[in-house]
């Protein structure tokens, strides 16, 4: 038996494992939203602490076992991208160990170790889960609708902030608006990417934009608005018409911006129009200035944990501070570099691939979030790399496997050759 020959990707999906992966996805992301809703409304106390730590520990070993079984069942070798990701994790772990021995802040070390676990879990789930399955689509749609209902039901004057209710039994354990928004965004993007119906995508966009608006998480709101035209341009059959229409809509919005703003409830999302009046943006500028001074003073190795817990640079510059120049460049490379050949090979092709547009969309949104507001340990990096690998495996091992939502293949893949054959057949 030739163990180097991989089985088709469609045969690698085990039903029991897929149910477990769906449960892991729903528990890690929508589950976070629902748990903190129960916490914020006083329905329960913080029996799971910060939620992600115990839940991630619970799923860690089963997910690792599923990944190993997946490799064994498909006879698939570890891809180059997986090797590069493991190199980064090993490097990150070595940095943590060395600085731990040097007496670095224990709270930051613990946080980094947990973030590694979060990222690995997200990588495994997004690597193996079948996003095109009816089980995933139905459960995700129900979860998104439930999260939206909660956000609107508990919003006050157009703002969803459970801490303002004042009924949480453990208010210090309640997630911030960023945590709620992350769970929502990570649930919406896979569903949209594997939805072929334009009408359903428009409905999902409308619900998601409205929900993230009342949630007041500016970064996630901006990330969603950023990727919507990227997704729709990819699915569009008339891309020039789409670009012209988008441009006209932007011009119309700009002309009527004041009227639109006056019709919206006042919340911090509107600070995106002028961040100079945002207190959080000003605070982040101070944190960025501190991080920049750190990398100027320590340009090659950085200065690990040279800040108080939570007072890190809220962007990719945080990687330079903690991991040095190598870690900073490396994390950008493994996130962005795979998308470049994918873009030129796939984005304008006739075939529509859910794994591709999900990985490309996650790369775009994650890059935007890292550039503006997120820490370098963001679990979205693990999710993005996981979908990258899934896309590469589909392309390599499942070329003839199509998503339920994908359009049918072109009847004449080679137009010139087809016309030549038809001409030769004429009497």
What the block records as the tokens of 101 is 């021995």
Supply the pLDDT for residue 12: 58
Give the pLDDT confidence of 162-193 residue by residue, as tens digits: 988 888 888 888 998 999 999 999 999 999 99
CA gap 424, 420 in Å, rounded? 6
Mean pLDDT of 135-154: 97
Phi, psi (deg, nearest 5) at residue 159 = -130, 125
Q: What is the pLDDT of residue 408?
A: 39
Mean pLDDT of 298-326: 96
Do 210 and 166 form a contact (C-beta atoms < 8 A)?
no
C-alpha separations of 331 from 85, 334, 345, 359 in Å = 9, 5, 23, 16
Residue range 199-224: mean pLDDT, rounded: 96
Q: Considering the chain, what is the average pLDDT of its residues?
A: 88
Q: What was the pLDDT predicted at 426?
A: 39
Select the more confidently predicted residue: 275 or 258: 258
Asked whether the beta carbons of 240 and 202 are under 8 A apart, the reply is no
Question: What pLDDT is attached to residue 32?
Answer: 96
pTM, 2 dp:
0.88
Q: How far apart are CA 95 and CA 104, in angstroms?
A: 11
pLDDT confidence band for 404 (50 / 70 / 90)? very low
Q: Would residue 416 count as lying in a domain?
A: no
- The answer, yes or no, to whether residue 303 has pLDDT greater than 80, is yes
Mean predicted confidence (pLDDT) in 103-114: 96
Higher pLDDT, 144 or 421: 144
Contact 241, 248 (CB under 8 A): no
Q: Range of 81's domain?
A: 9-399
370 lies in a domain?
yes
Residue 3 has pLDDT above 70, yes or no: no
pLDDT band per the 50, 70, 90 thresholds, residue 323: very high
The pLDDT value recorded for residue 197 is: 94
Q: How far apart are CA 267 and CA 265, in angstroms?
A: 6
The pLDDT tens digits for 228-246 are: 999 999 999 998 999 999 9
Instruction: Give the tens place of pLDDT for each residue, 350-395.
Output: 788 999 999 999 999 999 999 999 999 999 999 999 999 999 988 8
Give SS3 for 159. strand
Rounded to the nearest 10 degrees, the angle between the axes of helix 354-372 and helix 379-397 is 160
Mean pLDDT, residues 388-407 taken together: 66
- Rounded Cα–Cα distance for residues 271 and 264 (Å): 13
Residue 325 lies in a domain: yes
Residue 382: closest CA among 184, 186, 122: 122
pLDDT at 264: 83
Q: Tell me the percentage of the chain whose pLDDT exceeds 90.
A: 69
Q: What is the pLDDT of residue 256?
A: 85
C-alpha dist (Å) from residue 246 to 198, 249, 359: 15, 5, 23
CA angle 255, 260, 263 (to 5 degrees): 155
Q: Which two tokens stand for residue 270?
A: 């509107």
Say if 412 falls within a structural domain. no
Whether residue 306 is contained in a domain is answered as: yes
H helices of 154-278, where?
177-193, 198-215, 218-235, 239-255, 257-263
Rg (CA), the chain: 23
Judge whether 417 lies within some domain.
Answer: no
For the cut 80, the answer to whether the pLDDT of residue 421 exceeds it is no
Of 121-125, 218-222, 255-259, the least confident: 255-259
pLDDT of residue 280: 79
Residue 178 included in any domain: yes
For the chain, what is the domain count? 1
Cβ proximity of 18 and 133 under 8 Å: yes
**Residue linked to tokens 């709101």:** 221
Dig out the tokens for 286 from the structure. Answer: 């101070």
pLDDT at residue 9, rounded to an integer: 54
Question: Does the pLDDT of residue 207 top 70, yes or no?
Answer: yes
14-31 pLDDT, tens digit per residue, is 889 999 999 999 999 999
CB-based contact 239:233 (threshold 8 Å): yes
- Residue 265, sorted as left (phi over 0), alpha (psi -120 to 50) or beta, turns out to be beta
pLDDT band at 10 (very low <50, low <70, confident <90, very high): very low
Ranges assigned E (strand) in 134-195: 155-156, 159-160
Helix (H, G, I), strand (E, B) or coil at 27: helix
DSSP characters for 93-125? HHHHHHHHHTT--HHHHHHHHHHHHHHHHHHHH
Q: Say what the pLDDT of residue 213 is.
A: 96
Q: In this model, does residue 411 exceed pLDDT 90?
A: no
For residues 391-416, average pLDDT: 54
Q: How far apart are the first and last CA of the chain?
A: 51
| Residue 54 located in a structural domain | yes
């Amino acid at each position: 038996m030739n163990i180097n020959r991989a089985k088709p990707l469609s045969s690698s999906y085990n039903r029991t494992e897929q149910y477990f992966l769906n449960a892991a996805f729903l528990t890690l992301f929508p589950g976070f939203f629902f748990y903190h809703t129960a916490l914020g409304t006083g329905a329960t106390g913080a029996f799971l602490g910060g939620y992600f730590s115990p839940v991630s520990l619970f799923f860690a070993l089963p997910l690792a076992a599923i990944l190993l079984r997946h490799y064994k069942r498909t006879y698939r070798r570890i891809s180059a991208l997986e090797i590069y990701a493991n190199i980064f994790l090993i490097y990150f772990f070595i940095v943590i160990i060395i600085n731990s021995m040097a007496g670095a802040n224990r709270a930051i070390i613990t946080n980094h170790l947990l973030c590694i676990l979060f990222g690995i879990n997200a990588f495994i789930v997004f690597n193996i889960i079948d996003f095109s399955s009816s089980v995933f689509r139905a459960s995700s749609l129900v979860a998104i609708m439930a999260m939206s209902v909660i956000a609107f039901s508990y919003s006050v004057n157009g703002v969803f902030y459970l801490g303002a209710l004042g009924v949480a039994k453990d208010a210090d354990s309640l997630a911030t608006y960023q945590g709620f928004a992350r769970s929502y965004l990570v649930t919406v993007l896979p569903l949209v990417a594997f939805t072929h119906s334009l009408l359903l995508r428009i409905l999902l966009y409308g619900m998601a934009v409205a929900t993230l608006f009342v949630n007041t998480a500016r970064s996630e709101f901006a990330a969603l608005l950023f990727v919507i035209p990227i997704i729709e341009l990819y699915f569009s059959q008339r891309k020039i018409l789409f670009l012209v229409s988008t441009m006209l809509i932007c011009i119309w919005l700009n002309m009527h911006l004041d009227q639109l703003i006056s019709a919206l409830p006042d919340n911090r999302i509107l600070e995106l129009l002028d961040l100079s009046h945002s207190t959080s943006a000003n605070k982040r500028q101070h944190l960025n200035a501190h991080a920049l001074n750190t990398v100027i003073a320590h340009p090659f190795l950085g200065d690990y944990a040279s800040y108080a817990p939570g007072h890190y640079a809220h962007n990719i510059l945080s990687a330079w501070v903690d991991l040095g120049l190598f870690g900073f460049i490396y994390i950008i490379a493994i996130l962005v570099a795979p998308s470049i050949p994918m873009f030129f090979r796939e984005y304008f092709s006739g075939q529509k691939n859910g794994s591709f547009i999900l990985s490309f969309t996650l790369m775009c949104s994650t890059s935007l979030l890292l550039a503006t507001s997120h820490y370098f340990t963001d679990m979205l990096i693990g999710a993005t790399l996981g979908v990258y690998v899934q896309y590469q495996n589909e392309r390599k091992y499942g070329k003839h496997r199509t998503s339920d939502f994908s359009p049918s293949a072109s009847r004449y893949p080679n137009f010139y050759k087809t016309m030549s054959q038809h001409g030769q057949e004429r009497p």
